[in-house]
Amino acid sequence: MIKQFLFNHFEVNCYAIVDEATRQCAIVDPAAEASYEDARLTQYIEDEGLTPIYILLTHAHVDHIAGLRAACRQYQLPVTMHPDGRKLLRQAAAYGSIMGFEVDNMSDIAVNEIGDNDILRIGETEVECRFVPGHCPGSMCYVLHNEKAVLTGDALFQLSIGRTDLPGGNYPTLIDHLQRRVMTLPDDYLVLPGHGPDSQIGQERKYNSFLV
């Protein structure tokens, strides 16, 4: 099961991947900015009797990591991410000051590094990691074949793609990796993006002007 939350003034989609058999879960992009948002997430985990075993990042832009330190502290977990995103953790305070987030340098947070094609196990649920750079360094998508879903972060949105004009962005790289690592999924796979409404791979294959 995948539970969605909407957090902070950038309206980031945070997800909880829940293994219903074992009640283990992963928190994807802990973006809670305000204390009441953080409380929504922790209350859900408590009410559902869940045990977080991963804190995953699709990427480390500051709007997606606004609640990272609180989540790591609350559940005594490292952040699981691609190593190419470490620089963005170090730059969190600088980006935050520009984008209206009060966060500090996060380079001291323990990191569990993952790479392309790694498989994470949350109880009986398998999560396939796919490296999809181009929006920013270290960008990952997470495929849950049993759920027929892919969490795309800011790489792919409904009928759009992530911006590539920020530092580390590269348009040809993003398009290439989307075509090879995301659009090869079946049409009926649900697309769960980092912002905005969900979609399906088939819809994006037919109507996304960046990918047609």
In tens, the pLDDT along 13-71 reads 999 999 999 999 999 999 998 889 999 999 999 999 999 999 999 999 989 999 999 99
As a dihedral over the C-alpha atoms of residue 113, residue 115, residue 119, residue 121, rounded to 10 degrees, the angle is: 20
At 96 the pLDDT is: 61
Per the CB < 8 A criterion, the answer to whether 141 and 177 are in contact is: no
| pLDDT tens digits for range 153-198 | 999 999 999 999 988 899 999 999 999 999 999 999 999 999 999 9
Instruction: Enter the pTM of the model.
Output: 0.95
SS3 assignment, position 93 = helix
Which letter does DSSP use for residue 167 in this model?
T
Q: Which segments within 12-145 are labelled E, that is strand?
A: 12-18, 24-28, 51-56, 79-81, 111-113, 119-122, 125-131, 140-144
Mean pLDDT of the chain: 94
CA distance 150 to 104: 30
Helices (H) and strands (E) in the chain, counts: 6, 14
Question: ∠15-20-25 over CA atoms, to 5°?
Answer: 40
Any idea which fold 2-207 has? Metallo-beta-lactamase; Chain A (3.60.15)
**Residue ranges covered by each domain of the chain:** 2-207
| Average pLDDT for 129-138 | 97
Cα-Cα-Cα-Cα dihedral sign, residues 203, 204, 206, 209 = positive
As a whole number of angstroms, the distance between CA 58 and CA 152 comes to 7
- Residues 69, 32: contact at Cβ < 8 Å? no
